[in-house]
Chain A
């Protein structure tokens, strides 16, 4: 009797487990179906597509690979509302969103690129990161489409240069941001910290005070190693006394064994040793790392200003301020920032519906600033937008950050936007290593230099 009962409950338990795993399979199946579905029209419609225009009324399906997966963020609403609007106005066009998080998308695109199957619209990062794709001829130049209705003039002066090669623009950025340090005013009050730090020494001091109060001083998600690198590069921007360190290395004027670089590594290690970051930071991915701050569990977060809208939409809205990264050992100018020209929309050169894709992207990019403004996500947007933030009901944080943009005197691009991918990978894991063990700074410098020389073109 007991035995059959037990067997029954086991059977039920196992069924539940099976159902769960089937559900999991179901999910992945959906994804792959999506992939298959988006490929299918290409193969069936292949032929006279190059000459097709929007007016032909022919049914077309466009794939829009994007990195806005979180329904809680304004960016998610933006892409859904804009694509829905376009599909309503153009019933013959169906836009399928292939939504991934940043690092997954990078890998997926590289995999697709290796087999020359880039989605109609995809996301790339500026300068060095998109160069291999452009060199491989995978992207269509967008010059004609940019000139078509004055779209080009909506972009900030010089911004499109980061996405241009041989006088052709290959991608349209979703923003133009700077790195700032967000801080939670409530937690600062709790720890009795009155002023935001203006020197690195003060910052270390604040880290120790917060740590003693049991508050995680700085949020980070270092499983995605660009996050640590972005912070590190800000320190380097200071110890180098200004921008251009990596460019000097590329030009052969400096090496990674320069004192400025070693000093930056030392400073970064001080931050780690002081316990600035959450335990197990290297196993936290970037989204989860951001959520540590956005749920009020960490006091500071050094990240790009693109997070402003998301912070205002989170549970710490209204409690957050931002400050400029402090000087390090008295060096550097706080008005120089890590510059982050945004991820950008590129069009596949092999798209079966090139014209339709360009038409859609033209619409998308033209409406983008207005939509972002409406969704209170217009800070760091990269395109001119009419309207006053304050009057439109933006938060003090947003107005504050928008003010910081006016102080920008110059700065550097992220490491992986400046150096080739192979060198960047060595750099990223070298910085990740600093999170888990104390390393001789000179050895870190040497590792960088060796990788740079080995991968020079």
Chain B
């Protein structure tokens, strides 16, 4: 703060508008939904206060809740596993291409498409053979008929079909972040290392990895939070069906609130989601702080 040479009061004044906006648009709604989570309320008529009743129902009586939590967490894990791959790609691009920007832009293309478009696109790719689905068509022409599936309607497969689309879409996003991070590492470090005899992957191990940790953390947190909130893609492609087989926390919350008219219950699920996000973000931060300290 000293560097800026401005009094704290000035800083406060400049931060205030954004802070107010943030409090009004983010904090207040969260608090309100925590409160509505304690009500038995259909969203329309009068509500009754039932304390933790919704949470009790949620944890012990709702057959859809825990499976959707499991699917959400799996979603998060899958998208975090993707990040090291992105980093690896970024390192390769940086090393072997003089100007990798074009490729990175191409990888980035799916990110700028609207999720609805992506969803519709992949829906037709996943269509059953009888409706001319591309994926099944390719499998059949390769003679792999037994591998064909109704990708979006077989309960055991549908969720994985969704994970894949999501990973495909965000690959370019995280690749861009990692690539930028790798490029920002000063060349002098590598040159010095080369003189000391560290080249190629050895240099990556001792220079790239330690220096990329903060960037890596950003990607991990973004991927994690993003997948906890995954909603649009599921809604467009399956709507949580068939029979809740692809429901995640957010779609279950939505269906409870607006499908079943259990607004209070939906708010309870929302509260749970907020808590999970906070806890895991804190957790990830702690882990990375340790890693960073170790490297320094």
Contact = CB atoms under 8 A, between A and B. Distances in A.
Interface residues of A, number: 45
Contact of A425 (B43, B129, B155, B259): B259
A449 to B, nearest CB: 14
Given A21-B112, A280-B128, A110 B258 contact: yes
Contacts of A20: 113, 117
Interface in B131-160: 131, 150, 152-155
Given A14-B109, A279-B153, 5 more contacts: A21-B113, A132-B45, A282-B153, A282-B241, A422-B260
Interface residues of B, number: 41
A279 B260 contact: no
A399 interface: no
Interface stretch (A60-68, A195-203, A230-238, A433-441): A433-441
Contacts of A133: 44
20 contacts: A6-B102, A21-B113, A28-B114, A110-B43, A114-B44, A136-B45, A280-B127, A280-B150, A283-B152, A283-B153, A283-B242, A421-B259, A424-B260, A425-B255, A425-B259, A429-B241, A429-B244, A432-B242, A436-B155, A436-B243
B238 A283 contact: yes
B289 interface: no
A110 B255 CA distance: 11
Interface string B112-123: 111011000001
A165 to B, nearest CB: 13
A437 B259 CA distance: 23
Nearest to B128: A279
A12 interface: no
Contacts of B239: 223
Nearest to B265: A422
Interface of B: 42-45, 61, 102, 105-106, 109, 112-114, 116-117, 123, 126-131, 150, 152-155, 237-239, 241-245, 255, 258-263
A310 to B, nearest CB: 22
Interface string A308-337: 000000000000000000000000000000
A53 interface: no
A17 B243 contact: no
Contacts of A432: 241-243
A25 B153 contact: no
A24 B238 CA distance: 21
A138 B177 CA distance: 49
A279 B150 contact: yes
Query: Which 3 pairs across A and B sit closest by C-beta, in order of nearness?
Result: A433-B243, A279-B128, A136-B44
A139 to B, nearest CB: 11
B66 to A, nearest CB: 16
A254 to B, nearest CB: 23
Nearest to B154: A436
A436 B43 contact: no
A296 interface: no
Most A C-beta atoms less than 10 A away, residue of B106, B129, B153, B244: B153
